[in-house]
Amino acid sequence: MRPRAPFVLVAVLGAIGLSAAPAFGERLVASLSNHRVMVTSNFVGEELVLFGGVEQDQTSRPRRSGYDIVVTVTGPRQSMVTFRKARVLGIWVNADSREFENAPAYLAVLSNRPLDSIANTEMLRRLQLGLDNIPLPQRASVKIADAASDDPFRLAFIKIKTDQGLYREVSNGVTFLAPALFRASIPLPAEVPVGTYEVDVRLFADGAQIARAPSPFEVYKSGFEQVVTNAAREHGFLYGLVTSMMAVLTGWFASVVFRRD
């Protein structure tokens, strides 16, 4: 057993060295103004406010270019289809399509300045920051793969989502109130889907990521809206049958009320 003593000594010294190794002295703290957003029949959208700060300790060193913040808000994932129309015999028809697998239903990228000024292209791609670097796997035939950033279906999908207010990239979406204190506004349109939203806050300095903090929130329906949503999701056939009967009865009642004798 004695020959193993040097190996034990090396392991102990290595553990001590790792514990004494310097680490980044900054710690990122972030919180939302509201962690639960209720959707009702008169919901017209809401704006959440993200507050955060950078905590420093004795090991913190001065940053020559200050701090940068990148906030990525990702909504529930869904499978969606994008169609490409073509003119056939004078009629516009769906000529081709792509199905996007598990694409974010909502996506917002907020930063205090342009992303290419915060980090280089390779790091932005590796960290998947920005609309151009977010993976959007497509299903073409039986294969699923992420297309290039200039793929026409990908560009069309992002444009549609942007026009709906569900995708956005804002280079001045984060404001520093003090050198180590910041805020950001997260707009939620009226069409925002329900589900859990992940808020990923990243702290950069001198072109490198040095800290990261999550701050999720939930969008949910309550009351009669939630009952209708659950019925449509869990009992689709009965829900369709009831709504069809209601439409028929409404039409019949209207014909009786407004009948001309």
Q: Are residues 91 and 67 in the same domain?
A: yes
Q: Would you give per-residue pLDDT tens digits along the chain (261 residues)?
A: 444 444 433 333 344 343 333 445 688 999 999 999 998 878 888 999 999 999 877 666 667 678 999 999 999 998 888 777 777 777 777 667 778 888 999 999 999 999 999 999 999 999 999 999 998 888 765 556 666 667 888 888 899 999 999 999 999 999 999 988 999 999 999 989 999 999 999 999 988 999 999 999 999 887 655 556 555 566 666 767 777 777 887 777 777 767 665
Instruction: Examine the domain organization and report whether 243 and 155 are in the same domain.
Output: no
Domain count, the chain: 2
Same-domain status, 132 and 255 = no
Q: Do 247 and 163 belong to one domain?
A: no
Integer Cα distance of 68 and 82 in angstroms: 35
How many Cβ atoms sit within 10 Å of the Cβ of residue 32? Answer: 19
∠ CA 127-129-133, rounded to 5°: 95
Same domain, 25 and 128: yes
* Burial readout 130-150 (b: 16 or more C-beta within 10 A, e: otherwise): bbbbbebebeeeeeeeebeee
Q: CA-CA distance, 168 to 151, in Å (whole number)?
A: 19
Q: Which domain holds residue 76?
A: 5-221
198 and 236 in a single domain? The answer is no
